[in-house]
Amino acid sequence: MTLSDEELERYSRQLVLPEWSGAAQERLKEASVIVVGAGALGSPVATYLAAAGVGQIGVVDEDVVELSNLARQPLHFTPDIGLPKAGNAVVKLSALNPEVQVDQYPVRLEAGNAEAIVMGATLVVDCSDSFDTRYLVNDACCAQGVALVEAGVLGFAGLVMSIRPGESACYRCAFPTQPVDAPSCREAGVLGAMAGLVGTIQALEAIKLLTGAGEPLLDTILQIDGATMAFTRVATERISDCPACARVPAASQSS
Amino acid sequence: MTTLDLTGVLCPMNWVRARLELERMRPGERLELVLDPGEALESVPRSARDEGHRVTVDGRHVTIEKA
């Protein structure tokens, strides 16, 4: 796979990075990434992945754009109210970078379709807003051996972790049980810039996992306190009898 | 030796093209660039040296030996 003159110019500022290379850019172009959720986290994630030149992006979201989304979901604009988010993401991302193939999955990710959606992907970025979906995405990625970037944001608090199933702790290893009294985003509130920060870190982690540049947050949970700007790395490790990843062979993913 | 005529190619595209060519070469192989005076001649040899390559400059001709 070679890059056209237009692609060289489009990606020139990352192609000159010492940590980057033509091969790294081609790895992005060959990658297929599923972004689960086109909301507060999914907006920056999908935007930066499309801008950076990920070849194929699938956006999973069953919702339509609402007025109350616009303060934190910069992929969606006021005239887009009422449009399906996944379809709107295709329009916006294709306009940003026509080199990228963007596919829409206007469905809710559920137990019945999770593995089918994840199957064949190089990497998944979980930008969902519920614990149920997060465990479903984690388990599907573990079953398929697909690399995953997990994140959550609530108020001024955020966390990010990267997962290579079979090699590093999965979300279920780090959080074996769902918190019983966790407030939903609707109740606790989300600040757009805070979600943007966490989503941007997710995008960077995805790019690192896909290209091999840098050191992803494997076996590490990054906790972010946006109020004080404290960034804390917390070590985590695989659980030998984890129901999601214990039996996943290492290095099953392609990148 | 491969020669890239980068006359009229602005920064950082000149370094992008040189770098992609270097990526395809083996250590010890040499790449000759023809660069415009000014920013190109000032910055491209420096970028190449920063990445550890041996660089010699003769007028507008720059030879890079891949590290």
d(CA A243, CA A245): 6
* Confidence (pLDDT) at A187: 67
* Confidence (pLDDT) at A131: 93
CA neighbor of B37 nearest in space, from B54, B14, B53, B19 = B14
d(CA B28, CA A40): 49
Residues whose CB falls within 8 Å of the CB of residue A68, separated by 6 or more in sequence, listed in order:
none
For residue B12, the distance in angstroms to the closest alpha carbon of chain A comes to 7
A residues 180-239 near B, CB within 8 Å?
none
How many other C-beta atoms are found inside a 10 Å radius of the C-beta of residue A183?
Answer: 11
B23 three-class SS = helix
Tokens representing B50 are: 């920063």
d(CA B67, CA B64): 9
Taking residues B32-44, report their average pLDDT.
97
For residue B25, the distance in angstroms to the closest alpha carbon of chain A comes to 13
Q: Measured between beta carbons, which residues in chain A are less than 8 angstroms from residue B25?
A: none
**Cis before residue B45, ω within 30 degrees of 0?**
no
CA neighbor of A51 nearest in space, from A7, A85, A104, A83 = A7
The per-residue pLDDT for range A116-173, each reduced to its tens digit, is: 999 999 999 999 999 999 999 999 999 999 999 999 999 999 999 999 999 999 999 9
d(CA A249, CA A144): 10
Provide residues of B within 8 Å CB-CB of chain A: 12-13, 15-17, 19-20, 23, 47, 50-51
Between A253 and B51, the higher pLDDT residue:
B51
d(CA A202, CA A8): 25
Instruction: Please give the backbone phi and psi of residue A186, each rounded to the nearest 5 degrees, phi first.
Output: -60, -40
Query: Inter-chain contact B13–A18, Cβ cutoff 8 Å?
Result: no
B32 three-class SS = strand
Q: Measured between beta carbons, which residues in chain A are less than 8 angstroms from residue B13?
A: 8-9, 12
For residue B58, the distance in angstroms to the closest alpha carbon of chain A comes to 24
Query: What ipTM, to 2 d.p.?
Result: 0.88
Mean pLDDT by runs of 10 across the 255 residues of chain A is 91 96 97 98 98 98 98 98 98 98 98 97 96 97 98 95 98 92 73 97 98 98 98 98 91 48
**Cβ-based contacts under 8 A for chains A and B:** 26
CA neighbor of A148 nearest in space, from A211, A26, A140 = A140
Q: Measured between beta carbons, which residues in chain B are less than 8 angstroms from residue A23?
A: 23
Tokens representing A100 are: 């990228």
Query: Inter-chain contact B19–A23, Cβ cutoff 8 Å?
Result: no
Q: Measured between beta carbons, which residues in chain A are less than 8 angstroms from residue B51?
A: 18
Tokens representing B49 are: 């040296």
d(CA B63, CA B25): 14
Q: Measured between beta carbons, which residues in chain B are less than 8 angstroms from residue A18?
A: 50-51
For residue A11, the distance in angstroms to the closest alpha carbon of chain B comes to 9
Q: Measured between beta carbons, which residues in chain A are less than 8 angstroms from residue B4?
A: none
| Residue A179 CB burial class (10 angstroms; 0-12, 13-18, ≥19) | exposed
C-alpha distances out from residue B37 to A56, A205, A213, B30, B58, Å: 41, 39, 33, 21, 12
Q: Give pTM, 2 decimals.
A: 0.94
